[in-house]
Amino acid sequence: MNFYIIIPAHNESDSIGLTLDSLTKQTLLPKQVVVVNDNSTDKTESVVEAYTKKHPYINLINNKSSNKHLPGSKIIKAFYKGYDVLDDDYDVICKFDADLIFPDNYLEQLASHFNTNKKLGMASGFCYIEKNEEWVLENLTRKDHIRGALKAYTKDCFLEIGKLKPSMGWDTVDELLAKYYGWEILTDQSLHVKHLKPTGISYNKASKYLQGEAMYKMRYGIVITLISALKLAYKKGSLSLFKDYIAGYFKAKKDKVDFLVSKKEGGFIRNLRWKGILGKLKK
């Protein structure tokens, strides 16, 4: 099974070497790895270059973009810089972050899952972060949700969902669309991936409003947005974020921002969300 991996990297010289090292030790080696050095000002480029000289399947692309950190759009635009240089001889395409350390059997285990279930469109392990010298689960979301840091898609699933959306919420709408098209999603709790930088550590204040905008663009509607925003703000330990999310939603509605999904897809997404919400209330 051919794995193509794209890793957007911005000022990741302290971690990208560890990520690449873990990929070179896989029991099933990737066919292609492309690191997109996205406007870094540190030594990211030289660290990656050292790996390209030792491993012919690792490649480096230098990309110039804005220094402004905008969750979603910036990283996916960098992803496409890597995607555009690859051929289509892949079975699975991955978007990985540049601050992960994978267990040696990670790709082999994903391949086993994909080969066993032809309806499986996406799969991943779990992110762990270091706290008090211990690696603990980075528990920011549901355990059946694949984190944006370690996405892996079969080719057919990736193409059918329209690839990745350059927007905040890309790592949620991809799963929702996969389910819309009948694909299954799997998270393997036995695969512990070390996440060296906690999620959201570099988010700026302006980006907080983009979460609410994403809920609008996924056609959640106001009620589901209120519930989702409150839950997310609570998980992040800052109820003040709730106000930012709702403000972002109404600003997007006022500005008539383009949706990420069609009306039919939006209806499916709302029904799916309501089933999840009502299912938890019954427990």
90-146 pLDDT, tens digit per residue, is 999 999 999 999 999 999 999 999 999 999 999 999 999 998 889 998 876 678 899
Q: Please report the pLDDT score of residue 140 as a whole number.
A: 66
Q: Please report the pLDDT score of residue 171 as a whole number.
A: 94
Q: Please report the pLDDT score of residue 141 as a whole number.
A: 66
Token readout for 133 is 């010298």
Q: Does 283 have pLDDT greater than 70?
A: no
Q: Does 24 have pLDDT greater than 60?
A: yes
List the chain domain ranges.
3-195, 205-282
Burial environment of residue 239 by CB neighbours within 10 A (0 to 12, 13 to 18, 19 or more): exposed
How many other CB atoms are found less than 10 A from the CB of residue 18? 18
Contact 207, 168 (CB under 8 A): yes
- Indicate the residue type of 261: V
Mean pLDDT score of the chain = 92
Task: Give whichever of 64-68, 143-147, 152-156, 274-278 has the largest mean pLDDT.
Answer: 152-156
Which CATH class name applies to 3-195? alpha beta
Report the C-alpha gap between 171 and 186 in whole angstroms.
15
Report the C-alpha gap between 55 and 19 in whole angstroms.
14
Q: Does 200 have pLDDT greater than 70?
A: no
Q: Please report the pLDDT score of residue 177 as a whole number.
A: 97
Q: pLDDT digit string (tens) for 201-245?
A: 444 555 778 889 999 999 999 999 999 999 888 888 888 899 999
Residue 8 sits at φ, ψ, to 5 deg, of: -70, 135
The 8-class DSSP code of residue 205 comes to G
Report the C-alpha gap between 58 and 3 in whole angstroms.
12
Which of the pair, 71 or 10, is modelled with greater confidence?
10
Report the C-alpha gap between 10 and 24 in whole angstroms.
21
Token readout for 7 is 């890793």
Strands 120-131 and 134-137: antiparallel
- Indicate the residue type of 143: K
Closest to 28 measured CA to CA, from 152, 177, 140: 152
Q: Please report the pLDDT score of residue 69 as a whole number.
A: 54
| Residue 275 host element (H or E) | helix 263-282
Q: Please report the pLDDT score of residue 67 as a whole number.
A: 56
Task: Give me the half-sphere count of Cα atoms (radius 13 Å) on the Cβ side of residue 231.
Answer: 11
Is the full-model pTM beyond 0.95? no
Percent of the chain having pLDDT more than 70? 93
Q: Which residue has the tokens 């289509």?
A: 88
Closest to 215 measured CA to CA, from 238, 198, 232, 200: 232
Q: pLDDT digit string (tens) for 32-91?
A: 999 999 989 999 999 999 999 999 999 999 998 765 556 678 899 999 999 999 999 999
